Structure 1
Amino acid sequence: MKRFLRLLLPTALTATALLALPSLVCAQSSPDKSVRIMVGASPGGGTDILARVLADKFGPVLKQAVVVENRPGASNTIAAELTARAQPDGSTLLLATNTGQAIAPHLLKLKYDSLKDLQPIGLVAVMPNVLVVSANAPYRNVKDLLAAMAAKPGGFKYASSGIGSTQHIGGEAFGLVTGTKSIHIPYKGSSQAHIDIISGEVDMMFDSTSSAMGQIKAGKFRALAVTSPRRAAELPDVPTLAEQGITGADVSTWYGLFATGGTPRPMADRLNAELLAALKMPDVQARIKGLGGEITPMTIEQFSEMNRSEYEHYGRLVKEAAIKAE
């Protein structure tokens, strides 16, 4: 998060001014053509939840049906490729995370360029990741977990929403800084992984709060630590890893809105304006806060710079940690 706080909105170009632009959808397309928000994860996860929040807000102002289309798999890149290959008319959007935008390009051979073929629109939210275990597990804190892992070297499994996801990166970083080894079990989205965490089939997960919060509040997950520099506002009693003596494994998940590369700038500006307007709505703010997230409004230029910076940051991390697609 610190890497891009300097990018926060200093602009004189306000959402109100941008809303005066002509209607978004779509000069080139049929007026009754629906808008798709592509999601690279299964229904029920954090990306899906936020996409549906935006769809509910975008529909009335765009005066069109806005639907969420889930295309899970390949570290969120299936949905990203479909967006990259769509007509640049504003009718296909992507709610992406740093998994697909900043990590996967360094691990997978993609048929599109994540920096050139997707047009950044704006940052939606940043969520800390949280180390969770089943509520039935005996571990009460990270010290308990590490003791159990030491007693059973290589016998623990951790889940992720896919290879190259922030959950995967978080698990690898945790192993590096603690000197432990565990088996990575990738899933097609967090919601599928939750089933095996709750049953105890998989021992732990470094999930985003947006995905894990529901299970934590329902008493099905026990949160042992947040993997961010400070505690999550919605989990004030859960200490950070650093508070428990573990540093160097900080990982957060960000969610951003993208359009197809080549989308005309007036359309991109209108989408950014509608996003900024939605993020000011009290119910949207409450929903994101309830998921443990922080809202950081950005212009297109600011989000584009952040997107590139994160791409470079995770490229270095993947190389230094020798992380490879399995």
Structure 2
Amino acid sequence: MAFPTRRRLALSLAALGLAFAAAPAFAQAWPDKPLRIMVGASPGGGTDILARMLAEKFAADLKQSVVVENRPGASNTIAAEMTAKATADGTTLLLATNTAQAIAPHLLKLKFDPLKDLQPIGLVAVMPNVLVVSSSSPYKSVKDVMAAMADKPGQLKYASSGIGSTQHVAGEAFNLATNTKAIHVPYKGSSQAHVDIIGGDVTMMFDSTSSAMGQIKGGKFRALAVMSDRRAAEIPDVPTMSEAGVKGIDVQTWYGLYVTAGTPRPVVDALTAELVRVLKLPDVQARIKGMGGDVGTLTADGFAEMNRQEFERFRKLVKDANIKADGQ
């Protein structure tokens, strides 16, 4: 199934909020101790930025401390596994992307089931992936990159935040769609990859706009194309990959909030209501849009269905692009 377009995801938060107008009595005592938000990526990347924004807003409203714990590695699945195996009391949350929830299960042998052991709370944001090069790079367009890849097969390199990440999948999808070959160089987070792109050690990256936008606006990166069905509002002069001449690539990074499966439904509902409240805040919406994305509006059940669809979509993409756990 095709990834839901950002237009289709634009539901009414106000309407969704009506479903959570009254918190169940069971959840009124929650949370009675500090919360933690697990993040499977290094500090400084898009997931970390969003997690810290949510932590700040949650803490102010719930009157409890909320800490962010970064546990990078294993395609973001370390943090996901820790959340899956935590006490199901609604105090261990996970801010995850499609990397751990829809891609890694098709590449790695996991000790948990992302569809069964994690309870979706809601979709936080959707960010298109964007092909970027250093601002000092000789490549000014997607056609320039394709020509160089054809002329020097196997010599150009693309970075990612790790094996099985959306950046990795996007790079292999680009290889497949263009019938060319760039070599994958995995890092332990986007921020580390950025250093080598700016320094010229790696040619390019198919990064999420949430991670790359700061470097784009700061003049360190040149954005060549976004990998979604329409242009990103924050960088309107950057064409879509289709407009740049490469058809059939749709890779976006979505960010969702989860809790340990088995958490009582009243607590799940209370968490969903809190997320809905936060995502309606003007400063939160401005921050997400400033990162090049759209505010998520799917709550627990709708987001769970989207996760299942994405799981199957990426299963096919991983197979078609012959993506392996060794990164090639």
Smaller-chain TM-score bracket? over 0.9
| Residue 43 of structure 2 corresponds to residue 82 of structure 1 | no
1:301 CA displacement? 0.9
Runs of 4+ in 1 over 3 A off after TM superposition: 1-14, 22-27
- Structure 1 Cα separation of the partners of residues 196 and 21 of structure 2: 45
> Conserved in 2, the CA contact under 8 Å of 1:177 and 1:246?
yes
SS of structure 2 residue aligned to 1:228: coil
For residues 253-310 of structure 1, the C-alpha deviation after alignment (integer angstroms, 9 at most, x for no partner) is 0000000011110011011111111111000000000000011312211011111111
> Conserved in 1, the CA contact under 8 Å of 2:121 and 2:258?
yes
- Structure 2 Cα separation of the partners of residues 199 and 25 of structure 1: 52
For residues 201-243 of structure 1, the C-alpha deviation after alignment (integer angstroms, 9 at most, x for no partner) is 1100000000000000110011011111110010100011111
CA separation of 1:25 and 1:200: change in aligned 2, threshold 3 A: farther
1:63 CA displacement? 1.1
Specify the code of the residue in structure 2 equivalent to 1:314.
Answer: F
Specify the code of the residue in structure 2 equivalent to 1:64.
Answer: Q
For residues 45-76 of structure 1, the C-alpha deviation after alignment (integer angstroms, 9 at most, x for no partner) is 00000001111110021110011110011111
SS of structure 2 residue aligned to 1:242: coil
1:24 CA displacement? 4.8
> Conserved in 1, the CA contact under 8 Å of 2:94 and 2:257?
yes
1:13-52 matches, cutoff 5 A: 14-15=16-17, 18=20, 20-21=22-23, 22=25, 24=27, 31=32, 33-52=33-52
SS of structure 1 residue aligned to 2:43: coil
* RMSD across aligned positions (CA): 1.9
1:94-243 matches, cutoff 5 A: 94-243=94-243
SS of structure 2 residue aligned to 1:67: strand
**TM-score normalised by structure 1 residue count:** 0.94
> Conserved in 2, the CA contact under 8 Å of 1:26 and 1:91?
no
- Structure 1 Cα separation of the partners of residues 47 and 14 of structure 2: 30
1:318 CA displacement? 1.2
Q: Tell me how many residue pairs correspond in the alignment.
A: 323
| Residue in structure 1 matched with residue 294 of structure 2 by the alignment | 294
SS of structure 1 residue aligned to 2:193: helix
1:244 CA displacement? 1.3
> Conserved in 1, the CA contact under 8 Å of 2:71 and 2:78?
yes
Specify the code of the residue in structure 1 equivalent to 2:17.
Answer: A
> Conserved in 2, the CA contact under 8 Å of 1:37 and 1:68?
yes
CA separation of 1:3 and 1:152: change in aligned 2, threshold 3 A: closer
Unaligned runs of 5+ in 1: none
Specify the code of the residue in structure 2 equivalent to 1:129.
Answer: N
> Conserved in 2, the CA contact under 8 Å of 1:122 and 1:299?
yes
1:63-82 matches, cutoff 5 A: 63-82=63-82
- Structure 2 Cα separation of the partners of residues 192 and 298 of structure 1: 32
> Conserved in 2, the CA contact under 8 Å of 1:40 and 1:96?
yes
Specify the code of the residue in structure 2 equivalent to 1:106.
Answer: H
**Percent identity of paired positions between Structure 1 and Structure 2:** 69
> Conserved in 1, the CA contact under 8 Å of 2:158 and 2:183?
yes
- Further displaced range: 290-299 or 166-175: 290-299
- Structure 1 Cα separation of the partners of residues 201 and 216 of structure 2: 18
| Residue in structure 2 matched with residue 57 of structure 1 by the alignment | 57
For residues 123-143 of structure 1, the C-alpha deviation after alignment (integer angstroms, 9 at most, x for no partner) is 001000000001110111111
1:176 CA displacement? 0.8
Specify the code of the residue in structure 2 equivalent to 1:37.
Answer: I
CA separation of 1:103 and 1:51: change in aligned 2, threshold 3 A: same
> Conserved in 1, the CA contact under 8 Å of 2:51 and 2:68?
yes
Specify the code of the residue in structure 2 equivalent to 1:321.
Answer: A
- Structure 2 Cα separation of the partners of residues 10 and 216 of structure 1: 31
> Conserved in 1, the CA contact under 8 Å of 2:2 and 2:313?
no
CA separation of 1:230 and 1:84: change in aligned 2, threshold 3 A: same
